[in-house]
Amino acid sequence: MRRHFCKGVFGLIVACLSPVAVQAAPLVFSVPDQERVAQIESRIVALKGFSERVDAVSAQFLGTPYIANTLIGGPDTPEELVVRFDGVDCYTFVDLVRALTLSENQTGFIAALKKTRYHDGHVAYLERRHFLTDWAALTPQNARDITLTLSPQVQVTRKDLNRRADGGVYIKGLAAHPRDIAHLSPEFLTPEVAAKIRTGDVIGIYTKLDGLDVTHTGLAIWKNGVLYFRNASSLKANMKVVDTPLAAYLTGKPGFLVLRMVEAG
């Protein structure tokens, strides 16, 4: 089995919090990308349903190249708020989609992106939502974890997130913290379970690795009665945002979890 890791999970770069007065983080947002936001917003302005908006926004990313490590920050480099549409990883893809879905203009998009990507909207590396389940655990809440409602077969595993098997950490400066991770084995993705998943729900690919909740993430999209997994794929055969039938994608994977986005910024 080839294990598919979203490189964004491991490629996030450490930034230290400054002990001096807090200043607004620099914004990395090119003119072409600002124009792209305006184009996408104009295409969804008439759409009112949340799932419909997520579908329409995320479809604009189909074919977008997969690029890891697009966010800026490091031990000696302040965190910057990065907006890029020329390439995404699995995390920045869902970040951007949620922020665009919730906004109507550039100002609203930036505000929504801050709250989506960072705990309490504070742009700093240690405030990033490094783990997918941070979407449900940290404020403002991006989503609710609905995995436990899917099936009696859901399992719950207690993990010390950020703690490697060797005792080290994935994210320097971030304390390990215990969290119960609900997940369902792919064999239990029956038609009845699939029917409980909506277009726009966030799908996480569960991992058995110590210290991590998922190794990849994307969006659930229903098309013609088939449930697809829309994701920024780092597989060599793809290296772009693609749609793959969820059942096929989950073959050989240890499990999956489902988060339902909160329909407010």
66-123, pLDDT tens digit by residue?
999 999 986 667 999 999 999 999 999 999 999 999 999 999 999 999 999 999 999 9
Q: What is the pLDDT of residue 140?
A: 96
Distances (CA, A) of 194 to 47, 81, 97, 259: 24, 36, 22, 13
| Confidence category of residue 4, pLDDT binned at 50, 70, 90 | very low
Report the CATH architecture of 7-261: Roll (2.30)
Using alpha carbons, select from 171, 165, 90 the residue that is nearest to residue 132: 90
Q: What is the pLDDT of residue 11?
A: 44
CA distance linking residue 69 with residue 265, whole number of Å: 25
Alpha helices in 3-74 (DSSP H): 7-11, 31-44, 50-59
Other CB atoms within 10 A of residue 231 CB: 32
16-74, pLDDT tens digit by residue?
223 334 468 999 999 999 999 999 999 999 999 999 999 999 999 999 999 999 999 86
Indicate the domain borders of the chain: 7-261
Give the SS3 label for residue 221: strand
Q: Can you tell me the mean pLDDT for 233-239?
A: 97
Q: What is the pLDDT of residue 7?
A: 52
CA distance linking residue 170 with residue 125, whole number of Å: 13
Q: What is the pLDDT of residue 5?
A: 55
| Confidence category of residue 143, pLDDT binned at 50, 70, 90 | very high
DSSP for 69-87?
A: --SEEETTEEEEEEE-SS-
Q: What is the pLDDT of residue 12?
A: 38
**Cβ contacts of residue 34 below 8 Å, gap of 6+?**
106
Q: What is the pLDDT of residue 136?
A: 98
Using alpha carbons, select from 58, 44, 13 the residue that is nearest to residue 203: 58
159-212, pLDDT tens digit by residue?
999 999 999 999 999 999 999 999 999 999 999 999 999 999 999 999 999 999
pTM of the model: 0.92
More confident of the two residues 30 and 5 = 30
User: Taking all residues of the chain, what is their mean pLDDT, rounded to a whole number?
Assistant: 92
